[in-house]
């Protein structure tokens, strides 16, 4: 490369080139309109504005890239951001690209768990994928044909998942960083949701109202007469599970009924700041149903949904004025007063949040991201 710059200098001195150049401290020559990056290795030259934003700044510093939501500095030049890079921020829902082994993941993703280091998503036919903030990889499957129903974790070495579908004898497994370890005793029926505030307390809820509780060992008991599909909490003494026929039960050390006043098939629940949302569908149809709990009282919120909203399968509440629900009609946002469909025409199965980002997963390997 340096020989090219030397040749350019010779031609210039001979009067063969008319264009102006910038002489760089590293010996490079940058023809207008390019300017010097002063890098010891390529790129030696770059667009004036792209270099001006990043010259002398550390890699991964945010910058403005034309025509894109944002950019980042690399080798003293502003470069287009990529939603698969954790340090890039996206203030609108943006599709990620889960490529594993050179191929894009195309199986349905049913559940997702995330923390500051990345996410793990699970789905049909043994699909378990991890994103580490930069790249995607496959994690080992429990068995090749296992359909994963739900996942929840605490760190890369403590992740719980429940299998269903083609894998006989639905079980809960714990990933220890290398293998999935069966959790015994096994539940009597399907597990549909997992949640816990810390590795020493994990809840598993599912078919027929069975609830599992892990405190070093697993114990299961029937806590409701209806199937439970979702569970969420804020700490070790406050959790809620929701399910069929408008069922809700609340944990404050023991489980007790907290009926929503609806008959909806509720699939998930989330909360923050004293507000809780339970989402699902009207039992006899694929039409969405929502209940909201404020100041200890449940209210039916279904009438406020956009017309034609279908089955809702997941919800994440960031604050009482910022919540999202996902399902067969896309991604809906709730601002504390009204709903709006912000990502229509797509199918999602679950949503999860961290202090910095939200992630939604769904049909055909779909993963989308929103920065908070």
Same domain, 104 and 191: yes
The rounded mean pLDDT for the chain is: 92
CATH number of the domain that 204 lies in? Answer: 2.130.10.10
The pLDDT confidence band at residue 16, using thresholds 50, 70 and 90, is very low
Residue 245 maps to a domain: yes
Residue 339 and residue 29: Cα distance in Å, rounded?
56
Structural domains of the chain, count: 2
- How much is the pLDDT for 167? 52
Same domain, 65 and 192: no
Residue 360 and residue 109: Cα distance in Å, rounded?
10
Same domain, 55 and 125: no
126: left (phi over 0), alpha (psi -120 to 50) or beta: left
Max CA-CA distance within the chain?
91
**Residue pLDDT, tens place only, 303-333:** 999 999 999 999 999 999 999 999 999 999 9
**Residue pLDDT, tens place only, 176-223:** 999 999 998 988 888 999 999 999 999 999 999 999 999 999 999 999
Same domain, 105 and 45: no
Residue 333 maps to a domain: yes
Overall average pLDDT of the 258-272 stretch:
98
Same domain, 174 and 230: yes
With contact defined as beta carbons under 8 Å apart, do 101 and 138 qualify? yes
Please state, for a pLDDT cut of 90, what percent of the chain lies above it.
Answer: 80
Angle at 314 between CA 312 and CA 318, to 5 degrees: 120
Question: Element (H or E) spanning 218, and its range?
Answer: strand 218-222
Beta bridge partners of 29: 23
Same domain, 238 and 288: yes
Residue 112 and residue 371: Cα distance in Å, rounded?
16
């Amino acid at each position: 490369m340096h020989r090219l710059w030397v040749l350019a200098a010779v031609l210039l001195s001979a009067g063969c080139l008319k264009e102006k150049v910038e002489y760089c401290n590293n010996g490079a020559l940058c023809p207008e309109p390019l300017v010097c990056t002063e890098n010891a290795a390529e790129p030696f030259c770059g667009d004036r504005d792209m270099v001006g934003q990043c010259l002398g700044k550390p890699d991964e510093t945010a910058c403005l890239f034309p025509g894109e939501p944002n950019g980042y500095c690399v080798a003293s030049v502003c470069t287009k951001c990529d939603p698969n890079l954790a340090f890039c921020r996206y203030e609108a829902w943006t599709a990620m690209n889960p490529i594993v082994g050179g191929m894009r993941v195309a199986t349905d993703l049913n559940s997702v768990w995330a923390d500051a280091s990345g996410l793990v998503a699970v789905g049909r036919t043994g699909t378990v994928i991890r994103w580490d903030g930069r790249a995607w990889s496959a994690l080992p499957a429990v068995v090749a044909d296992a359909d994963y129903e739900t996942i929840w974790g605490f760190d890369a070495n403590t992740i719980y998942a429940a299998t269903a579908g083609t894998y006989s004898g639905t079980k809960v497994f714990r990933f220890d960083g290398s293998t999935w370890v069966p959790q015994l005793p096994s539940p009597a029926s399907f597990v549909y949701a997992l949640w816990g505030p810390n590795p020493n307390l994990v809840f598993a809820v599912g078919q027929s109202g069975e609830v599992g509780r892990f405190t070093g060992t697993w114990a299961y008991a029937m806590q409701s007469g209806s199937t439970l599909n979702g569970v969420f909490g804020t700490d070790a003494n406050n959790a809620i599970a929701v399910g069929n026929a408008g069922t809700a039960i609340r944990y404050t050390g023991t489980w007790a009924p907290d009926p929503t006043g609806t008959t909806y098939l509720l699939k998930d629940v989330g909360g923050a700041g004293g507000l809780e949302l339970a989402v699902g569908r009207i039992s006899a149809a694929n039409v969405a149903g929502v209940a909201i709990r404020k100041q200890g009282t449940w209210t039916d919120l279904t009438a406020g949904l956009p017309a034609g909203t279908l089955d809702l399968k997941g919800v994440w509440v960031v604050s009482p004025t910022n919540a999202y629900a996902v399902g067969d009609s896309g991604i809906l946002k709730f601002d504390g007063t009204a709903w709006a469909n912000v990502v229509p025409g797509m199918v999602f199965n679950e949503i999860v949040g961290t202090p910095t980002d939200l992630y939604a997963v769904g049909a055909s390997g779909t993963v989308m991201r929103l920065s908070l």
